[in-house]
Each structure stands twice: as C-alpha cells, then as structure tokens.
Amino acid sequence: MAAPGYIDDKQRLQRRLRRIEGQVRGLQSMIDDDRYCIDVLDQISATTRALQSVALEMVGDHISHCVANAVQQGGAEKDAKIAEATAAIARLVKS
Amino acid sequence: MAAPGYIDDKQRLQRRLRRIEGQVRGLQSMIDDDRYCIDVLDQISATTRALQSVALEMVGDHISHCVANAVQQGGAEKDAKIAEATAAIARLVKS
Amino acid sequence: MAAPGYIDDKQRLQRRLRRIEGQVRGLQSMIDDDRYCIDVLDQISATTRALQSVALEMVGDHISHCVANAVQQGGAEKDAKIAEATAAIARLVKS
Amino acid sequence: MAAPGYIDDKQRLQRRLRRIEGQVRGLQSMIDDDRYCIDVLDQISATTRALQSVALEMVGDHISHCVANAVQQGGAEKDAKIAEATAAIARLVKS
C-alpha cells in the first residue's frame, strides 16, 4: 500500500477537522439555546465551506501525488486514476 | 424573544447534528489510518450533504414560522423578514 | 391564474437572461478558438453564478408574492405553498 | 501553442453548449409567458446542472492532457499546472 497523497499534510488536515468538529458542537449549543434560525443557518454555511476547503486541499494532494505517480507509470493505471479522480471531483461539485 | 422556527424539531435536529459530529470524527480516524484520498473525499461529500440537509430543514421551519408570522403582521416587519430570509438562502446556495 | 411573483421584475430578468445567453454563445466561440481549458472553465463558473443569481431573485419574488399571499389566506394553501417553496429551494441548493 | 485538452471533444461540447443556449432562450420564453415561478426555478436548476456537466467534462480533459503532459515533463511546469488545475477546481466547487 502506497502512502496517501495527503501524508505530509496530515497534521494540518487533522487540526482543521478538529476545528470543524468544534463548529458542529457549536451548532448543537446554538440549537440548545434557541438561537435565531438565520444565525444557525449562517453557522451551517460556514461549516460547509470549511469542509469543502478540506476536500479541495485533499484534491490537490491527490492530483500531486497519486494521479501524478500514475501518469508517470502510464498505461491503464494512468487512465484509471484520472477517471477515478474526475469522478470524485464531480461528486464533490454536486454535493 | 419569540421561540425559534425550529422549536418543534429540536430533538430531530440535534440527533442529526450528533450524527454529523460522528462523521467528522470518522474523517479524523480515516486520516489517522492513512485511508485512500478518494474514500476520504467521498466521506467529506456525504458530511457536506448531511449539513445541507439540516440547513434545508431549518429554512423550511424558518419560512413556516418566522416569515409566516411576519407576513401576517404585514408592513415593514414583513418586508424585512422576507429580505433577510432571501439573503440567507443566497448565502446557503453559494456555500 | 394569478400573475407570477416576478411580474414587476420581468424586464430586468429578461435583460439578465439575454446576457447569460451571450455568455453561453461566448463559450462556444472560446471552444471554436481552442482557448485554454482553464479560461473556458472560469467562464463556465461565471455563467453558472449568473444563473444562480437569477434563481435567487426569483426565490425572493416568489416568497414576497406567492408564498406571502398563501400565508395570508392560511389553511391548507399556506402549508402547500411553503412546502413547495422549500422543496424548490432544496433542488436549487443541490444543483 | 499546444492544442487544448478538449480538442477531441469539441463537437460534443459544442452540441451541449448549443442545447444550453436553447435552455436559456427557453427560460426567456417562460418569463414572457408568465410561467409559474417554481417551474422557472426548476428549469434554471436544470440549466445550471447542464453547465456543470460541461465543466466536469472539461476538467477531465484538462487533467488527462494538459496536466498529464506537464507531469511527464516534471519540474516547475508540473507543479505550476497542478496548482492551476486545483485552483480552477476550487472556483468550480464554490460557484
């Protein structure tokens, strides 16, 4: 098993995910406290953007490492990795 | 202070947010375990969709209660609440 | 048949849609001219944002008129219009 | 100047863009005819999805050709092309 493309960014990704976990707990407190709908909605939008940002960092790492390695190998592995990355980007755009 | 529009849905919203918190912790474990980038990305997409779903439930509650009450009062309050809701929906669409 | 919620904004909406039509024809010229992928992609993103902006204006008009009228009538019509608007906003967020 | 990554897909892309141009003209007719807001909104969502789909085809072509060629050259060109592609994908996800 090769190391994942994000191997050198693990600490930063984990810090960001812990912050997102804190935002989700913050949402639970806002609802416990009967905070105004619009304030809760804006906090949900901020959390969604933070998650997208982690996803985009991971897409960059994946292209730089996993896809780039497959391209250097060439052949069927190259085509398969590019198709797989493109499909994952499509799911991200549509989510 | 009026009760928020989601007052009758608090338990369900909290259950969904706790599940989302679990998904975010699951993402941290995936990264700890060096899971494949594409699998992590798909799990991020699923978490984003779950958050959007909570936001959409809150938009429905907000229109049914806060906006509908303001419409029944009429006047400036009506216009202000509709403008505020529309702006929040715009931020959600763009997030 | 009642007038649609956007009746007073028709001229502005049509102007914006004609500009979007021009952007789509511009995309065809870019491809005819073999323009660089990234430039085409950014022009597609701009066109998508322009369409979303028309959609958000229409959501605002719909809530201000159609939904507000139904709320003033109350009863089943009110609930049906709010459910319908919320479902359309969900499709917009997911598109 | 190298050929763009989508060179072999030009005919299909142009067909899809002409169909999207037709959808945008269809939106103008719907508004001329005072069609119901929700029907217009759903047609806008369909047009947005069609544009995203063109964008995703172009992302796939760009990675398969332009990025893959740069990876095979290696060096600064490789890093620059990957950073540029990742930034364009980010703009697409946020649009």
Q: Is the pLDDT of residue C1 over 80?
A: no
* Long-range interactions of D6-9: CB distance < 8 A, separation 24+: D6/C31, D6/C37, D6/C40, D6/D57, D6/D58, D6/D61, D6/D62, D7/C34, D7/D65, D9/D57, D9/D61
Phi-psi region of A74 (alpha: psi -120 to 50; beta: other; left: phi over 0): left
- Report the run of H or E that residue A74 belongs to, with start and end: none
D90: in domain? yes
B9, B77, B86, best to mutate vs chain C, most C CBs in 10 Å? B86
* Residue in A with minimal Cα distance to D59: A86
Residues of A in contact with B36 (CB under 8 A): 4
Say whether C56 and B89 touch across the interface (CB within 8 A): yes
The whole model's pTM is what? 0.93
pLDDT at residue B94, rounded to an integer: 87
Closest CA to D85 of A89, A33, B24: A89
Query: The domain containing residue D88 runs over which residues?
Result: 8-94
Contact A94 D55 (CB under 8 A): no
**pLDDT given at position B25:** 98
Higher pLDDT, A9 or C2: A9
Which member of C3, C20, C45 has the closest CB to residue D34? C3
Assess if residue D1 is contained within a domain: no
Output the pLDDT for position B53.
96
In a domain, C26, yes or no: yes
Digit-coded pLDDT (tens) for B29-79 = 999 999 999 999 999 999 999 999 999 999 999 999 999 999 999 999 999
The chain-wide mean pLDDT, for chain A, equals 95
Per-residue confidence band for D38, with pLDDT thresholds at 50, 70 and 90: very high
Contact D64, D72 (CB under 8 A): no
Q: Are C94 and B52 an interchain contact pair (Cβ–Cβ within 8 Å)?
A: yes
Chains that touch C (3 or more CB pairs under 8 A): B, D
pLDDT digits (tens, 9 = 90+) for C38-94: 999 999 999 999 999 999 999 999 999 999 999 999 999 999 999 999 999 999 998
Residues of C with CB under 8 A from a CB of B: 52, 55-56, 59-60, 63-64, 67-68, 71-72, 78-79, 82-83, 85-86, 89-90, 92-94
B76 within some domain:
yes
pLDDT at residue B1 greater than cutoff 70: no
What local confidence, expressed as pLDDT, does residue A73 receive? 92
- For residue range A35-83, what is the model confidence (pLDDT) as tens digits? 999 999 999 999 999 999 999 999 999 999 999 999 999 999 999 999 9
Mean pLDDT of A14-28: 98
D-chain residues near A59 (CB < 8 A)? 86, 89
Distance CA A50, CA A39 (A): 17
Of C14, C27, C51, the CB nearest to D31: C14
Residue D49 pLDDT:
95
Q: Going by C-beta distance under 8 Å and a sequence separation of 6 or more, which residues neighbour residue A12?
A: A57
Whole-angstrom distance, CA of residue D77 vs CA of residue D80: 5
The pLDDT tens digits for A75-94 are: 999 999 999 999 999 999 98
> Domain total for chain C?
1
CATH number of the domain within which A84 lies: 1.20.58.1000
pLDDT band at A1, cuts 50/70/90?
low
Alpha-carbon span A55 to A81, nearest angstrom: 18
Instruction: Specify the pLDDT at position C40.
Output: 97
